[in-house]
Structure 1
Amino acid sequence: MTSSMYFSRGNGYMEKPHLGNGLPTYSSSTAVREKRHRQQYSTQWLTPISLPIPGVRTRRLRLMLPNLERLHQQSVAKFGRRRGPFILFAGFLTFLYLIFAIHRRFGTDDKSWPAPSFLGEPPTLVYRREDLQRIWEWEVAAGHYPSSRRIPDQVGLANPPPNPALPPLRSVSLPSRFRGPVATDTIGIGPKRIYLDLKRQPPDVAYPPRPVPGSVADMDVIMDNCDFSTGKYVRDCLEVLRLGGGLELGARVRRGKMDEWKYIYVEEATQNATDNAALTKPVFALKTQGEVDPSNEFPKKRGAEWEPHLNLSPPPKYVPYKDSPTVCDDENPRVYHMFWTGPFTDKPYLALLSFLFTQNLGLHLDPDHPDLNVCRPKFWLWINPGPAASVPNPTAVRDMFDQLKSNPWASPFLHPRFKDVIQFKLWNTTEQLDGVPELKEEWRALRDSLFNSGGYVEKIPPKADEPEETESVEVEEEEEEGIAAAAPSPTKANAKDDDDKINRVGSKSPSSYDRLSVILSDMARFVLCHRFGGIYLDADTILLRDWEELWGWRGAFAYRWSRLEKYNTAVLRMNKGSALGTFLFRTALKNGLDFHPMSISKYTKDAYLEGLLLRLPDALFDSAWLNTESYQRDRPPQPYFTEFADFFETPVQSSAAPQALGIDGFFKGAYSYHFHNFWWRPFDPSRNFPDLGPRFAQGERIARQSLAEASSTKLPEQPQEERVADDKRDLDWATVLKRTFESYVRGERPNMYGEWIKW
């Protein structure tokens, strides 16, 4: 213990000697040495720490780390008590970011320096303001903007474009002296709208009525009642969709006028269809003259040049349904597209069954006497039978149909009764990209980064025996059991025992996810809609009602990514050869062919084109999503899912609902349901085979035999009578939907509109 010397003061008390700073002095040099020894490491830039070594008790690992106390002292001494800690913290974050940046640049396949998040996302724009104005004018003139919502001010239109899909406004427009320098409205010159009050009419009161042919959904009304950004609940949105679409159960219990909830209308016939090309031609001619002031432009993508001025063809003439000479519009074909990789399973099987159960296909009529007043939609299922990076094969089409015929889940849809509404087509990446005018001359330069998802590129190692450039193989279109197939295509790669990401075909479990096929499908949906028109659906989508009024709405749309103001393109509607499609493909090309939904959101946001690709509320197509992310749980819809797995395994507390309510109690009013992957979970575990009755008994027996072999049990030679007591006691929602659709094909019940299938 250190000792101190004390002296007597004049008052008789002892006094400690001290220096001028008021600190006591010590007589022992030992205390000084001890103090210096304790402060030895605090005055240096590094300080040692020792960590135990697992399995070695006698030794410890010695590390030298920055001395935070020393750093703090120096920062305070140089910059003061307020700024010093802040500068020290900023330097620490910079050090961590530098380590991350070096790892991203030299330790990953991407080989690029990351952009600092605090600086915001880098711009993606490659088109001038002038071209963005032309895109808006083209889409409006084509009738692809049947909305009264305003065009963003930033677009800078000088004159309001005429809108043939919008009726004239009742109010008188403002005089020119009161208008602003920028036009944000369109001038309605279209036919008058008649909003429908759809009800069940006696004696047909057991089932809802089919939508009126040519009817249109007013997306402005839907957004007003369903937009999450304005605090609307999914439960309330589904009620509006249900009542406005005439899908309510039994008699209405709501009283009073429901004009605000009427969202389906028909257009009156007009004497003369508007020639939109003539209306917009002078505007286009004027806007191509001269150069635009660069200071008036939006931020351009770094390192990219402005795209040449758009060379757009005249927009198609907008013709209302009642003025159309045919019930089907060639410019806007009613085609559902779906992309599938690998062997056919119960997932596309159920998607096709839901298509047969809900859409107006005329299967209840005599095949020789279809309803000529109805445009029947078609379902094109695009199949890539091998890995996403597979090689072309001249016999691909024949191989595909051979596999479909032998597959019990696929073979029922080759029946001649479905040949006019379901078609299997073979996907070929080379042929499809060459078919897109905006890409065909340049996409091969990005072949090594073809699998780009959100800026992260999946590298594909080149094969030793692979030719330098893969050309599409010319194969004539085949007819197999009345099903048309597309021509050239890639097929299976050489079989390999390992299931790496390159050779993976389909997702068999959460740990073996086929990421390359998912990335390829992100691009495929835009290619298919731009080339052929129509609506793309992810394979984990189940249709829940007729989409007639969605087909009547001519605009492009996807839906909202849950709580985020981003797109989810699991449902995507685009018009064939549109100006919006040209913009998206050229922009994606200059951004590494990235078609991830988040990237698409960035493209349209940077260009102020979000209004042309409408972001519909997810209540229409993905009603459970907000609940699964802990939103709106105070007033959830029916059924109440807290996670997507509840669809396949209903919680015990609500396990009575699927059997008691059936499909009428499953998100009634929504157009579809998206169950988000779960490719490895069967819809009906106790009956995991197609159960379509005697007409398809052979396929059912093959599926049962496969299940028996997998479980090492022997299938009896004669089919045994099944007992209901052997079935699962509480059926899940996935099982109830599958069995409901199958009972319709077996002829045991009508579809959701009371129509019995006629074979």
Structure 2
Amino acid sequence: MSPSVALPLHSAVYEKYGHKSKRSWTKSLFLPIPGVPNRRLRVLVPNFDVRYVRIRIPKFDGRKRTPLLLCLACMAVVTTVMLFSRSGTGPEWPESWPPVGDPPTLVFQRDDLQRIWDWEIRSGHYPSRRGIPKQIGFLSSPHNPALPAKQRREAPSRYRPPPSIVTTQADTDPFGVGPKRRYLDIQSIPPHVAYPPRPVPGSVADMDIIMKHCDFSTNKYVRDCLEMLRLGGGLDNGQRSRRGNLDDWKYIYMEVANSTTSEEVQPDPPFTPNPVHRHKTDGTESPSDPNAGLFPKRGVDWEPPLTLPPTLYHRPNSELPEPCDPDNPRLFHMFWTGPFTDKPYLALLSFLFTQNTGIHYHEFPADSPVCRPQFWLWINPGPAASVPNPNALHDMFESLKVSPWASPFLHPRFKDVIKFKLWNTTEQLDGVPEIKKEWRALQDSLFNSGGHIINVKKQDAEDESSSEDGESESAVSTTKMVDEDDIVNRLGSKSSSTYDRLSVILSDMARFVLCHRFGGIYLDADTIFLRDWEELWGWKGAFAYRWSRLEKYNTAVLRMNKHSALGSFLFRTALRNGLDFHPMTVSRYLADAYSEGLLLRLPDALFDSAWLNTEYYQRDRPPQPYFTEFSDFFETPMVASAAPQMLGFHGFFKGAYSYHFHNFWWKPFDPTRNWPDLGTQFLAGERAARKALRTEAAPKSADNDRDPLDDAVEPDKRDLDWSTVLKRTFESYIRGERPNMYGEWIHW
């Protein structure tokens, strides 16, 4: 029988098991384990009990021995610190030992990272008070035109270190030189409180305040975040419960034009990379190592210096000659492959229902201060790995005309705000200057997702070789059976088992290509708009959002500026890492370069309010509605099935900017009325869709002869699901039976 590990190893225990009592330099300490009763954790600690010290020190009695040992211990600690610490005048970066975990992806040197940060800050793309990581190596605070101006407070020269020595141990704070901010109290004015007011044109969201109230890393709840977003954005429209002073919840501001003068702010000198000098542990200066503390990708040379365009000039919205800023185009991008279904249909309807498109006017006012956003829907006409034919654009529009789900958006009423675009992978990649000369070397591994490569060229090569061996082309075409469910030939996702993985991988890359080439915001096709994005457009920085509980990015929503330094960095880095644009890999690109601040990782409460609940987080105080699975959106649990019809659109994650329902392409939004229901303006498409559904359900039934528009309430589901309620709400606005969420009626 062996001794129990839970018993303290006193001398009596040793004696019981036949051991002699021994004096040891260590002893066991048993600590309670939180949440585990009746168990303790054994930890070995130094034994400082003088009764067990064997050292014999002559001429000292017991009373003098203890102070002497303490002095010796202190001297040992000081000596150890002196030996293993680096000089206080050197930077606080570690030596270049291999990092633990994923291999490094970095291909840019520190001076390039400094130039990228400097370009983004000077262009007004960093409107934040968050510090610049010390690893970037700035020796002084760069001027930030997107922050309010303040008086620079520098220490006297005798207290400042020489510029060749990095002494700061903290992040570098950018120095604001921009216009002042006036924070808005947005509320509906009685008696007009039935609907919330539109955001003020040119308003800006303060992401620092949003992070303060919504950051999951600081234990903020989604429910509380949505309340702050709702009240600060004026979405409560007369239903606000008295809360006291809500100044801390005001996160929307206007930039006050002409609030700075040339006397207050001096122009920044041209940027030059800061030299970084290392120092030996003995205090003498060693040869410069400007990349100390950076972990480059193994086996890859440093990238040559980036060629960046001139920095942009940040101007308040009130100083623009026109409502739209040409450097900040308001473009929403979405990527779609396969037949047009109810998924992009609902995304477009939610866009018209929430955004300030002006479609309620017969003619949009020429003097309007509103910059109308546009929705560009990019359609890949065939399977992701196919090459479009020369007539692809013509064929695309012909298919849109005959599609009941797509044809309504070809109406002239929507021509200025909804655009259908043809996606061509070769053309798009050639349009990115950073990779156009090199991407073809990786075309065999173009479908790269998190390092997992799907090679579609290999199969084509095998087919060509079999033809060259003597088999005629006609024989090949006869014997080769194209399986539409094969991963290469899939065109859309018909079920959870036949998922169009190639299109998903292609869309991971497409979002970065579109935002870098054209600017704007990309959204996945499983996204529904829930409010106006005016103040998000006003914030000119780049952003995505958090991957639920993880400190990673989810690029289902991605905002980047056109031809930005950040975009150049990402494309060159991705090129050296196999053109992998999976969100987890992009997270590594930015983390390895200490540049996560340039792509702000917003809380998922803003765009994906149910995600934490579906992963068993914050279920003690969930938001409304309470989804434990993403499928609850399509099949609301019976115990909560009264909420959709009672609360409607205004009770669905109110305060969030959008909702991401995470795939489910094969589930209809409205199973009992699975057709577009947009009224007499679009009756032909509805009639065709309803007749097709009836024929599919009963191809030989005599009921097919009657009018497919005949309605009866009996087949309808008694308790409507959230997806059904939202679809019918958006459709009723287009029919002219109700206003949009801001009280604007469309008249045909």
TM-score range, shorter chain: 0.7 to 0.9
**The residue matched to 1:165 in structure 2 has which SS?**
strand
User: In 2, Cα distance between the equivalents of 1:449 and 1:121?
Assistant: 20
Aligned equivalent of 2:141: 160
User: In 2, Cα distance between the equivalents of 1:599 and 1:274?
Assistant: 43
User: Unpaired segments of 5 or more residues in structure 1?
Assistant: 1-116, 469-493
Bigger Cα displacement from structure 2, 357-366 vs 544-553 = 357-366
Deviations 1:349-401 (Å, cap 9, x if unpaired)? 00000000000011122315355210000000000011001013110000000
The one-letter code matched in structure 2 to 1:120 is: G
Deviation at 1:757, TM superposition (A): 1.1
Contact 1:274 1:317 (C-alpha < 8 Å) held by counterparts: no
The one-letter code matched in structure 2 to 1:184 is: T
C-alpha spacing 1:295/1:247, structure 2 compared with 1 (3 Å): closer
The one-letter code matched in structure 2 to 1:603 is: Y
Aligned equivalent of 1:737: 726
Aligned equivalent of 1:121: 102
The one-letter code matched in structure 2 to 1:400 is: M
Aligned equivalent of 1:453: 449
Deviations 1:27-78 (Å, cap 9, x if unpaired)? xxxxxxxxxxxxxxxxxxxxxxxxxxxxxxxxxxxxxxxxxxxxxxxxxxxx
Task: Please show how residues 71-86 of structure 1 align to structure 2 within 5 Å.
Answer: none
The one-letter code matched in structure 2 to 1:522 is: D
The one-letter code matched in structure 2 to 1:747 is: G
**The residue matched to 1:188 in structure 2 has which SS?**
strand
Identity among equivalent pairs (%): 68
Aligned equivalent of 2:471: none
Deviations 1:275-299 (Å, cap 9, x if unpaired)? 9x995562148889xx972562511
Aligned equivalent of 2:337: 341
The one-letter code matched in structure 1 to 2:736 is: G
**The residue matched to 1:240 in structure 2 has which SS?**
helix
Aligned equivalent of 1:203: 191
**The residue matched to 1:189 in structure 2 has which SS?**
strand
Contact 2:187 2:237 (C-alpha < 8 Å) held by counterparts: no
Deviation at 1:629, TM superposition (A): 0.2
Bigger Cα displacement from structure 2, 141-150 vs 262-271 = 262-271
Task: Name the Cα RMSD after superposition.
Answer: 2.4
Using structure 2 for the length normalisation, give the TM-score. 0.79
Aligned equivalent of 2:472: none
C-alpha spacing 1:278/1:330, structure 2 compared with 1 (3 Å): farther
C-alpha spacing 1:348/1:720, structure 2 compared with 1 (3 Å): closer
User: In 2, Cα distance between the equivalents of 1:173 and 1:637?
Assistant: 46
Aligned equivalent of 1:463: 460
User: In 1, Cα distance between the equivalents of 2:709 and 2:379?
Assistant: 36
User: In 1, Cα distance between the equivalents of 2:116 and 2:413?
Assistant: 42
Deviation at 1:717, TM superposition (A): 3.2
Aligned equivalent of 1:226: 214
Deviation at 1:560, TM superposition (A): 0.1
Contact 1:137 1:280 (C-alpha < 8 Å) held by counterparts: no
Aligned equivalent of 1:241: 229
The one-letter code matched in structure 1 to 2:730 is: F
User: In 2, Cα distance between the equivalents of 1:653 and 1:436?
Assistant: 51
User: In 2, Cα distance between the equivalents of 1:676 and 1:619?
Assistant: 15
Aligned equivalent of 1:471: none
Aligned equivalent of 1:318: 314
Aligned equivalent of 2:116: 135
Aligned equivalent of 1:485: none
Task: Please show how residues 39-438 of structure 1 align to structure 2 within 5 Å.
Answer: 119-169=100-150, 172=153, 175=156, 177=159, 181-182=167-168, 184-248=172-236, 250-270=238-258, 279=267, 282-284=270-272, 293=289, 296=292, 298-367=294-363, 369-370=365-366, 372-438=368-434
Task: Please show how residues 624-639 of structure 1 align to structure 2 within 5 Å.
Answer: 624-639=610-625
**The residue matched to 1:135 in structure 2 has which SS?**
helix
Deviations 1:421-474 (Å, cap 9, x if unpaired)? 000000000000000000101000001110000011011135269999xxxxxx
Aligned equivalent of 1:752: 741
C-alpha spacing 1:522/1:192, structure 2 compared with 1 (3 Å): same
Contact 1:501 1:514 (C-alpha < 8 Å) held by counterparts: yes
Deviation at 1:172, TM superposition (A): 4.6
User: In 1, Cα distance between the equivalents of 2:419 and 2:641?
Assistant: 37
Contact 1:545 1:670 (C-alpha < 8 Å) held by counterparts: yes
Using structure 1 for the length normalisation, give the TM-score. 0.78
Structure 1 residue 564 corresponds to structure 2 residue 550: yes
Deviations 1:569-618 (Å, cap 9, x if unpaired)? 00000000000000000000000000000000000000010000000000
C-alpha spacing 1:747/1:465, structure 2 compared with 1 (3 Å): farther
User: In 2, Cα distance between the equivalents of 1:467 and 1:219?
Assistant: 55
Contact 1:388 1:516 (C-alpha < 8 Å) held by counterparts: yes
Deviation at 1:719, TM superposition (A): 4.7
C-alpha spacing 1:571/1:261, structure 2 compared with 1 (3 Å): same
User: In 2, Cα distance between the equivalents of 1:371 and 1:158?
Assistant: 47
User: In 1, Cα distance between the equivalents of 2:528 and 2:495?
Assistant: 21
Contact 1:130 1:292 (C-alpha < 8 Å) held by counterparts: no
**The residue matched to 2:146 in structure 1 has which SS?**
coil
C-alpha spacing 1:280/1:428, structure 2 compared with 1 (3 Å): farther
Aligned equivalent of 1:533: 519
User: Unpaired segments of 5 or more residues in structure 2?
Assistant: 1-97, 277-286, 466-479
C-alpha spacing 1:582/1:655, structure 2 compared with 1 (3 Å): same
User: In 2, Cα distance between the equivalents of 1:663 and 1:137?
Assistant: 43
Deviation at 1:725, TM superposition (A): 3.9
**The residue matched to 1:726 in structure 2 has which SS?**
coil
Deviation at 1:175, TM superposition (A): 4.9
**The residue matched to 2:676 in structure 1 has which SS?**
coil
User: In 2, Cα distance between the equivalents of 1:278 and 1:512?
Assistant: 61
**The residue matched to 1:518 in structure 2 has which SS?**
helix
C-alpha spacing 1:266/1:501, structure 2 compared with 1 (3 Å): same
Aligned equivalent of 2:81: none
Deviation at 1:715, TM superposition (A): 2.8
The one-letter code matched in structure 2 to 1:463 is: D
Deviations 1:284-318 (Å, cap 9, x if unpaired)? 48889xx9725625111011000001222221111
Deviations 1:681-732 (Å, cap 9, x if unpaired)? 0000000000001111110011112211221244343356423343210000
Aligned equivalent of 2:634: 648
Q: Which residue among 647, 652, 655 is the counterpart of 1:669?
A: 655
Aligned equivalent of 2:717: 728
Contact 2:330 2:520 (C-alpha < 8 Å) held by counterparts: yes
Bigger Cα displacement from structure 2, 455-464 vs 203-212 = 455-464
**The residue matched to 2:195 in structure 1 has which SS?**
coil
User: In 2, Cα distance between the equivalents of 1:495 and 1:351?
Assistant: 36
Bigger Cα displacement from structure 2, 454-463 vs 627-636 = 454-463
Deviations 1:633-681 (Å, cap 9, x if unpaired)? 0000000000000000000111000000000100000000000000000
The number of residue pairs the alignment matches comes to 615
Deviations 1:320-363 (Å, cap 9, x if unpaired)? 11111111111110000000001100000000000000000111
User: In 2, Cα distance between the equivalents of 1:184 and 1:445?
Assistant: 40
Bigger Cα displacement from structure 2, 293-302 vs 133-142 = 293-302
Contact 1:355 1:543 (C-alpha < 8 Å) held by counterparts: yes
Task: Please show how residues 499-578 of structure 1 align to structure 2 within 5 Å.
Answer: 499-578=485-564
C-alpha spacing 1:677/1:302, structure 2 compared with 1 (3 Å): same
The one-letter code matched in structure 2 to 1:312 is: L
Bigger Cα displacement from structure 2, 581-590 vs 701-710 = 701-710
Deviations 1:515-555 (Å, cap 9, x if unpaired)? 00000000000000000000000000000000000000000
**Which structure would you say has the larger Rg?**
1
C-alpha spacing 1:555/1:438, structure 2 compared with 1 (3 Å): same
